[in-house]
Amino acid sequence: MVSARPIIIAGAGSIGCFVGGMLASAGRPVGLLARPRVVSDIEHHGLQVSSFEGADRRLAASQLILATDAAVLAEAAVVLVTVKSADTATIADEIARHAPSDVVVVSLQNGVGNAAVLRERLQGKLVLSGMVPFNVIALGEGRYHRATSGDIAIERDQVDTASQLSVDGLTVRATDNMPGVQWGKLLLNLNNALNALSGLPLRAQLAQRSWRRLLAEQMREALRAMKAEGISPVASTGVPPALTPYLLDLPDGLFQILARRSMQIDPMARSSMWEDLQHGRRTEIDYLQGVIVALAERHGIDVPLTRRIVDLVKAAEQAGRGSPRLLPSQIHS
């Protein structure tokens, strides 16, 4: 990326601040378009990005462009969109209003439909879909910790944006099958809701067979709906999607031996949906389990567990008391 124009992270929360921090620590000009609370935090404490793998990078606020006003998009060479799915249309309109005509826009969001929303509102601009497989925890005072493994994937384009965004400690790879990659990630993201409902750290939750069986059952429901739609998900880990439910069903000891080869999880990792419930924010349940419910309805397929989890998460949102700390038996009933 020869341009000195900055990479702007639009909607810099946990993922956006981590990605922006890694890019900035590698010498890239980076701007964070974020909520006032996030900007104030970094102005007072700087930005620290760390990883369970041992990376620890610290940046002064002066090493970043910090903004709460979308006018910061005016000089962007690349915009990395990390807002929640429900806010995609709003940020697209801000990009259309402020960003240059030659800007490259990359969606690094959960779900499968965000790039389409961006393209609809940003006609004439290059929009690439992407997938972030790892989890980032906001620790406060400008600290963001990557707690799970995996490389970012974005769809291949003629100027190889993926390799230009790839830096030490943050690998970005190009793919020719972005839809398959996104649907594969959505399958794994079905655990976000279970983690939020359990109140447990991810590693502790996935160490329990009763929780894994709920995830496996959700995946089976999702795979039936995807098959009816003609969707072929691509593995986000080393395990093919069709085999993942069988891996999850294994006894705890055997599962831990096999899973250690395909996923690494920091002991303090939590899902972003858990964090949303804790902070009284709207979750992305409609863009994860909700998508599976819609597919199933289109093809007359019953997905009772997936529907149940949607209802439980929405009830927790309305209650506004954080994670309800349910047991697996309460979710099944």
Who's near 210: CB < 8 A, 6+ residues apart? 328, 329
CATH no., domain 179-332: 1.10.1040.10
Q: Which two tokens stand for residue 50?
A: 């760390």
Beta carbons of 28 and 7 less than 8 angstroms apart: yes
For residue 271, which of 260, 262, 261, 281 has the smallest C-alpha distance?
A: 281
282 band by pLDDT with thresholds 50, 70 and 90 = very high
Q: Which two tokens stand for residue 275?
A: 């964090």
1 band by pLDDT with thresholds 50, 70 and 90 = very low
Q: What tens digit of pLDDT does each residue of 156-200 get?
A: 999 999 999 999 999 999 999 999 999 999 999 999 999 999 999
Q: What tens digit of pLDDT does each residue of 192-219 get?
A: 999 999 999 999 999 999 999 999 999 9
| Distances 57 to 1, 23, 25, 148, 170 between C-alpha atoms, Å | 22, 11, 7, 17, 12
| Out of 88-102, 223-237, 298-312, 313-327, least confident range | 223-237
2: pLDDT strictly greater than 50: no
265 band by pLDDT with thresholds 50, 70 and 90 = confident
- What pLDDT is attached to residue 238? 75
All CATH 1.10.1040.10 domain ranges of the chain, comma separated, are: 179-332
Specify the pairing of strand 47-51 against strand 56-59: antiparallel
4: pLDDT strictly greater than 90: no
DSSP strand E in the chain: where?
7-10, 30-33, 47-51, 56-59, 65-67, 78-81, 104-107, 126-131, 136-140, 143-146, 152-155, 172-175
237 band by pLDDT with thresholds 50, 70 and 90 = confident
Q: What tens digit of pLDDT does each residue of 112-148 get?
A: 999 999 999 999 999 999 999 999 999 999 999 999 8
- The distance between the two most distant Cα atoms of the chain, rounded to a whole number of Å, is 57
261 band by pLDDT with thresholds 50, 70 and 90 = low
Who's near 27: CB < 8 A, 6+ residues apart? none
- What pLDDT is attached to residue 227? 97
Q: What distance in Å separates the CA atoms of residue 172 and residue 163, rounded to the nearest whole number?
A: 6
Top CATH class of 7-176 equals alpha beta
How crowded is residue 168: how many other Cβ atoms within 10 Å of its Cβ? 10
Can you tell me which residue has the tokens 């760390």?
50
Mean pLDDT of 31-48: 97
